[in-house]
């Protein structure tokens, strides 16, 4: 049934993406709130999550869900969902956000789908089958020189400011160019497609990163052991990069 799930995940990500795009374009249709300091929330997050859970739950009644906004029930046939990754961008009128859907069979990522509704870009991976961007195969870049690499380092209030600044310092001191765009999931998709050479963050949640981890791995990249320990429920650090940057970035970040 993995093929059916794979096709459904893409169809549902597209449907949720279209809903999000409509709301984004009609700015008056949502209010902005905060779940915590610099942790944005709009009612569209909940609306999109309910749509995704309803569609997938209808198609696969025995499956369970972990979602950023509400659902929290793990099982051996599990969907992990971020209805809008890049909520801060979405809320501020910046067209850089996505829907992220991962499917885990026996706790192992088997499907990863990331959909960018503003550029109509569908990044999709199934275990052992590689990665496509709008149906065409993609791979990580061949980067093996940190001095010409472009990497993204994610920032959030959970891991604090001093640790982030120190990490940026250590990575940039080795010569990397750095951006921070506000969607960890989209950054992971960009690593898989060779647009970025690496993504790092000191703490990220499972819904932000699990689909991207499969994308990067299936695209020939290295990913750290995100699911170690309590990663699924409590999050972990993440490093995703080309094989050639693994050693330098592991050393610089301490993330393995």
Q: Which residues in this chain contact ligand IPD in the complex, by CB under 6 A?
A: 68, 82, 85-88, 154-156, 182-185, 201, 204-205, 208
Q: Which residues pair with 116 in a beta bridge?
A: 121
Measure the CA–CA gap between 99 and 105, rounded to whole angstroms: 20
Measure the CA–CA gap between 70 and 232, rounded to whole angstroms: 15
Measure the CA–CA gap between 130 and 251, rounded to whole angstroms: 28
Cβ proximity to ligand IPD: between 6 and 241 the closer is 241
Measure the CA–CA gap between 99 and 45, rounded to whole angstroms: 10
With beta carbons less than 8 A apart as the criterion, state whether 255 and 200 touch.
yes
Residue 213 CB, nearest distance to ligand IPD (Å)?
A: 13
The count of C-alpha atoms lying within 13 angstroms of the C-alpha of 214, restricted to the half-sphere facing its C-beta, is: 31
The count of C-alpha atoms lying within 13 angstroms of the C-alpha of 167, restricted to the half-sphere facing its C-beta, is: 27
Measure the CA–CA gap between 72 and 66, rounded to whole angstroms: 4
Cβ proximity to ligand IPD: between 4 and 92 the closer is 92
Residue 198 CB, nearest distance to ligand IPD (Å)?
A: 14
In the structure encoding, which two tokens stand for residue 110, read together? 């088997």
Cβ proximity to ligand IPD: between 87 and 242 the closer is 87
Residue 97 CB, nearest distance to ligand IPD (Å)?
A: 7
Cβ proximity to ligand IPD: between 6 and 209 the closer is 209
Residue 87 CB, nearest distance to ligand IPD (Å)?
A: 4
CB burial of 219-238 (b: ≥16 within 10 Å; e: otherwise) equals bbbbbbebbeeebbeebbbb
DSSP classification of residue 73: -
In the structure encoding, which two tokens stand for residue 54, read together? 């309803």
Residue 35 CB, nearest distance to ligand IPD (Å)?
A: 8
Residue 209 CB, nearest distance to ligand IPD (Å)?
A: 8
Residue 129 CB, nearest distance to ligand IPD (Å)?
A: 25
Helix%, strand%, coil% for the chain, nearest 5: 40, 30, 30
Cβ proximity to ligand IPD: between 204 and 214 the closer is 204
Cβ proximity to ligand IPD: between 12 and 98 the closer is 98
Cβ proximity to ligand IPD: between 182 and 231 the closer is 182
């Amino acid at each position: 049934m993995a093929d059916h799930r794979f096709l459904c995940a893409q169809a549902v990500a597209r449907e949720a993406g279209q809903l999000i795009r409509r709301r984004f374009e009609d700015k008056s249709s949502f209010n902005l709130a905060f779940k915590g300091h610099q942790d944005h929330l709009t009612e569209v997050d909940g609306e999109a999550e309910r749509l995704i859970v309803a569609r997938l739950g209808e198609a696969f009644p025995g499956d369970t869900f972990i979602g950023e906004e509400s659902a929290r029930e793990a099982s051996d046939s599990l969907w992990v969902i971020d209805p809008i990754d890049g909520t801060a961008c979405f809320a501020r009128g910046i067209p850089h956000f996505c829907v992220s859907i991962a499917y885990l069979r026996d706790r192992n990522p088997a499907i990863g789908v990331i959909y960018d509704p503003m550029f109509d870009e569908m990044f999709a991976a199934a275990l052992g089958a590689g990665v496509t961007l709008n149906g065409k195969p993609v791979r990580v870049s061949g980067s093996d020189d940190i001095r010409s690499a472009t990497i993204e380092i994610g920032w959030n209030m959970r891991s604090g400011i001093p640790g982030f600044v120190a990490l940026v310092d250590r990575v940039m001191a080795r010569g990397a160019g750095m951006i921070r765009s506000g969607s960890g999931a989209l950054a992971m998709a960009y690593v898989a497609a060779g647009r970025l050479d690496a993504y790092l963050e000191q703490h990220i949640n499972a819904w932000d990163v699990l689909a991207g981890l499969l994308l990067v791995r299936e695209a020939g990249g290295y990913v750290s052991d995100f699911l170690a320990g309590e990663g699924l429920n409590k999050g972990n650090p993440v490093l995703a990069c080309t094989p050639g940057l693994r050693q330098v970035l592991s050393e610089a970040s301490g993330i393995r």
